[in-house]
């Protein structure tokens, strides 16, 4: 997909699962469960062994696959070559937005304070990942940032749970990132895939109700 398709898919999805594990096999099973649950955008962190193979495999299956925790340009290039449609970095990497846009890939950079937000926006990122937002006030912090940067797409991440999804959306989040609270790794290790999927579907149902104007 091109840049515009990816941006639309991210914003339409609202919730982006952030996958982080030290097992390639577990990661593959987790992605399968997420897709079967209805998720169409998934962030796979570069700390996962075999990430490039995972990106190559799943990017061919009509879902948006992004690479997270990207810490240098070489890693970004390899992820893009493998098929990543969006790149997420917690830091500012010189040349990353330009590299992403050259390949029609969405660039998401991390920031927490107003100064950091201004810096990543000036660098050319498309979406600002506010992480870890739970440590600085949650939804109220997001509202404060939006007062300063009203036209910015913010993606709060860190401490996003089923019981606060709506709070963040009402605070003005464009999309959200959720990791361990969304993906039941213990159930995955026990091969209890129904439990994993049912838990994921709870999040989707909450957001579906929100989209329809009900909580």
pLDDT in tens, 32-54: 999 999 999 999 999 999 999 99
Angle, nearest 10°, between helix axes 24-37 and 51-58?
30
Cβ atoms of 183 and 196 closer than 8 Å: yes
- Sorted by where each starts, the structural domains of the chain and their CATH numbers stand as 3-210 (3.20.20.70)
The stretch 10-15 carries a mean pLDDT of: 96
DSSP 135: G
Mean pLDDT, the chain, integer? 96
- Edge-to-edge strand ranges of the sheet holding 41-45: 154-156, 127-130, 106-111, 86-89, 64-68, 41-45, 15-19, 176-178
Identify the band that residue 215 occupies on the pLDDT scale cut at 50, 70 and 90: very low
| Mean pLDDT to the nearest integer, 53-70 | 97
* DSSP SS3 for 33: helix
User: Please, which pLDDT band fits residue 213 given cuts at 50, 70 and 90?
Assistant: confident
**pLDDT over 70 (residue 214):** no
Sole residue written with tokens 């990942």: 129
Residue 62 has pLDDT above 90, yes or no: no
Residue 157 CB partners (closer than 8 Å, separation 6+): 18, 129, 130, 131, 132, 133, 176, 177, 178, 179
Please identify every residue annotated as catalytic.
43, 129
Tell me what the mean pLDDT of segment 45-67 comes to: 97
Global confidence as pTM:
0.96
How do 127-130 and 106-111 pair as beta strands? parallel
pLDDT band at 19 (very low <50, low <70, confident <90, very high): very high
Instruction: For residue range 164-208, list pLDDT tens digits in order.
Output: 999 999 999 999 999 999 999 999 999 999 999 999 999 999 999
Q: How confident is the model at residue 56 (pLDDT cuts 50, 70, 90)?
A: very high
**Is 50 within 8 Å of 79 (Cβ atoms)?**
no
């Amino acid at each position: 997909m091109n840049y515009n398709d990816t941006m639309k898919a991210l914003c339409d999805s609202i919730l982006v699962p952030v996958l982080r594990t030290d097992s390639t096999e577990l990661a593959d099973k987790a992605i399968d469960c997420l897709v079967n649950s209805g998720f169409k955008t998934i962030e796979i962190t570069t700390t996962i062994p075999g990430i490039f193979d995972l990106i190559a495999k799943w990017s061919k299956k009509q879902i948006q696959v992004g690479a997270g925790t990207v810490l240098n340009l070489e890693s970004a290039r390899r992820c893009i070559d493998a098929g990543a449609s969006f790149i997420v970095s917690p830091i500012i990497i010189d040349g990353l937005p330009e590299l992403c846009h050259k390949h029609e890939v969405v660039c998401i950079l991390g920031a927490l304070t107003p100064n950091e937000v201004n810096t990543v926006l000036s660098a050319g990122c498309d979406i600002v990942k506010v992480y870890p937002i739970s440590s600085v006030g949650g939804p109220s912090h997001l509202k404060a940032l939006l007062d300063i940067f009203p036209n910015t797409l913010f993606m709060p991440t860190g401490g996003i749970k089923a019981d606060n999804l709506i709070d963040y959306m009402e605070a003005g989040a464009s999309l959200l990132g959720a990791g361990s609270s969304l993906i039941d790794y213990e159930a995955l290790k026990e091969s209890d895939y129904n439990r994993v999927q049912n838990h994921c579907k709870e999040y989707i149902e909450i957001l579906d109700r929100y989209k329809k104007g009900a909580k």
